[in-house]
Structure 1
Amino acid sequence: MRVFVQIPCLNEEETLPLVINSIPKEIPGVDELHILVIDDGSTDRTVEVARSLGVEHFVIHARNMGLARSFSDGVDYALSHGADIVVNTDGDNQYPQDRIPDLLAPIIAGEADIAIADRQTATIKHFSPFKKAMQRFGSGVVNKAAGTKLPDAASGFRAYSRNALFRLNVVTQFSYCMETIIQAGNKRLRIASVPVETNAKTRESRLFKNIWQHMFKSGTAIVRSFLMFKPHVVLMTIGIIMAIIGLIPMVRWFVFFLLGDGAGNMQSLLLGVMFMLGSFLSFVLLVIADLQRTNRVLLEDTLERVKRIEFGGPHVAGTQYTVLDLGHDTDGVEEVQRLRFDESSQ
């Protein structure tokens, strides 16, 4: 059993030693434990500090690419090096690394595909009442979209089995947390929740400027992920509501028409026709969305097979790769060289 603990970092030279030194050296059921540092465009000595602490695996971004991209690149690196389980934690020492064995236990035992730490946010002292309420609300929305019952959907302290990572695809640019849960729930992956107590706060979050920005970006990610899997729920609901609203003025006009006063109530007919057209368009979009959903399922199945072929072979111990920024194309889309293997590190 080979486990990679990946640590996304952005200027974490001060707290990174606390994280790395608290990671257990040996874990029951684990044959190899590797630490992977993902440097997301740090301007301090994060990489140097990690090397001095014995870290041998790195993914380095030339500039800040965001948490979602850091997670995806780290997963690609870990899978290419034969990881059976990937644990994700943070470089700010928010999470208790000594609980990694508990996080791995349900996956090693074959009881879960994903294990997510429950920070028990109601007990965190530095969380305001409003933030605690929003955490509960956000987790409830994610659970509704995913069909799960997780108490802390926003927790980034989690473990993924190799099979789960083959089936998950991160497309958002903000955070992978909500998206992977919604995907996992809709793909019927087993998710376990492990209660933990967080460490004392070391700094403010660098993922978002304030809670409102966090709520907006998280909400956007949730909506996009939900629409990927259940577009029929939204479009059918809109179509039915508009049809009902459209029928009311049309029935009203028809009644007046039977009474011989239809010409004087044409506004009801026009209003009803407008809503009925909107309902018709919603059902047309529903058909298109369903066809796209079918196409997405086929593409994801193909991508899963490609991942199994790409990452299923033998790994090369000690190999590193760097993610390099190559600028922008004419459309402003970032182009990066995803993998550049450094043979000198072998």
Structure 2
Amino acid sequence: MNKVIIVMPAYKAEKTLEDTYKNLPQVYQEVIVCDDAGGDRTFDVSKSLKLTSLRHHKNQGYGGNQKTLYKLALEHGANIIIMVHPDNQYSTDCIPEMIKKINNGSHLVIGSRMKTALKNHMPFWKYVSNRFLTVIQNFVFKTNLSEFHSGLRAYNAHTLKTIPYQMFSNDFVFDSEMIACIQAYGYSITEVDTECFYNDTVSSINLRRSIRYGLETLKTLLKYMWGTYSPKRLINTGLFAENNV
């Protein structure tokens, strides 16, 4: 039986963590929460829910938070690792379908918000920028996905044991680097539909940081085209062991 661990990269999530947790389908063996030095009661709420609770004493960034979570999930014997943002934005009803796709051979499954994004009040500028980046990424990767920028995604353990995610950015572009590397390794990326719900408690980066994220994502695509994320390049730079490829 696969061990499913859900990981939550948390930052100032004290108001939404409990609802996010209670809405999870009961298909997991463990939930790990890492409070990225948010300065609120996120860690205490996590402990009160009897979740595996970590706290960074210095902010490590969105990517850095994920690195901590994935490392611990693998140490705890996870076969499938599912990342869920603890802002209660995403419907997690699709998680059983994500697990099914992983069991059927997908290396990464993305929970796409696009089908109902505007109906559920995703800001229009965010929708347009998401679609713009996704069209370019599909062209470069030769894929046909509806979204690459979701905070709901599932990995099989082999993927996280194989790709050198610890060398990637600690910022929001970490997710784009993960996708570029997974593509470079020839691994399978699929998606499932999910719903998103926008309100005042939803965590989101502001317009300035969104523009920076978009530019960094385009830079990541250029690096992918240059072969930066290929196994051969990583081996030659000594950043990765050949026997793991």
Match of residue 246 from structure 1: none
Q: When the two structures are superposed, what TM-score results if normalisation uses the length of structure 2? A: 0.87
Which structure has the bigger radius of gyration?
1
Q: Which has the higher helix share?
A: 1
| C-alpha distance 142-169 of structure 1, shift in aligned 2 (>3 A) | farther
Query: 2:234 corresponds to which letter in structure 1?
Result: R
Of 67-76 and 137-146, deviating more is: 137-146
Q: Does 2:41 correspond to 1:45?
A: yes
Unaligned stretches of 5+ residues in structure 1: 233-288, 309-346
Secondary structure of residue in 1 paired with 2:29? strand
What is the CA-CA distance between 1:200 and the residue it aligns to?
A: 4.3
Q: TM-score, normalised by structure 1?
A: 0.63
Q: Does residue 105 of structure 2 align to residue 111 of structure 1?
A: yes
Q: Please list, as runs of the form range in 1=range in 2, the aligned pairs for 1:1-346 lying within 5 A after superposition.
A: 1-25=2-26, 27=27, 33-55=29-51, 57-108=52-103, 110-120=104-114, 122-170=117-165, 171-175=168-172, 176-206=174-204, 208=205, 210-223=206-219, 225-231=220-226, 294-298=232-236, 299=238, 301-302=240-241, 305=244
Q: Deviations over 1:55-84 (max 9, x none)?
A: 1x2332102211100111100010011110
The 1:202–1:87 alpha-carbon spacing in structure 2 relative to 1, beyond 3 Å, is: farther
Cα distance 1:168–1:11, how it changes in 2: closer, same or farther (>3 A)?
same
Root-mean-square deviation (CA), in Å? 2.4
Unaligned ranges ≥5, structure 2: none
Tell me if the contact between 2:121 and 2:197 (Cα under 8 Å) persists in the aligned partners.
Answer: no
Q: Secondary structure at the match of 2:110?
A: strand
Alpha carbons of structure 1 residues 38 and 304: separation in structure 2 relative to 1, 3 Å: farther
Cα deviation, 1:178-199, whole Å, max 9, x if unaligned, reads 1111111121111111011123
Contact 1:229 1:293 in 2 (8 A): no
Task: State the Cα deviation string for residues 155-189 of structure 1 (Å, max 9, x = none).
Answer: 01000001111232331222222111111112111
For the Cα contact (< 8 Å) 2:46–2:53, is it kept in 1?
no
User: Following the alignment from structure 1 to structure 2, what is the Cα–Cα distance between the partners of residues 100 and 125?
Assistant: 19
Larger relative contact order (Cα-Cα within 8 Å, sequence gap ≥ 6): 2
Shift of 1:136: 0.5
CA distance in 2, matches of 1:12, 1:213: 19
Q: Structure 2: which amino acid aligns with 1:192?
A: T
* Deviation larger for 143-152 or 73-82: 143-152
**In 2: Cα distance, 1:50 partner to 1:59 partner:** 9
- Cα shift at 1:218: 3.1
Matched residues, number:
238
Shift of 1:293: 8.3
In 2, Cα distance between equivalents of 1:218 and 1:130: 12
* 3-state SS of paired residue (2:94): helix
1:229-253, Cα deviation, whole Å (9 max, x unpaired): 3227xxxxxxxxxxxxxxxxxxxxx
Q: Which amino acid aligns with 1:21?
A: K
Displacement of 1:124 in angstroms is 4.1
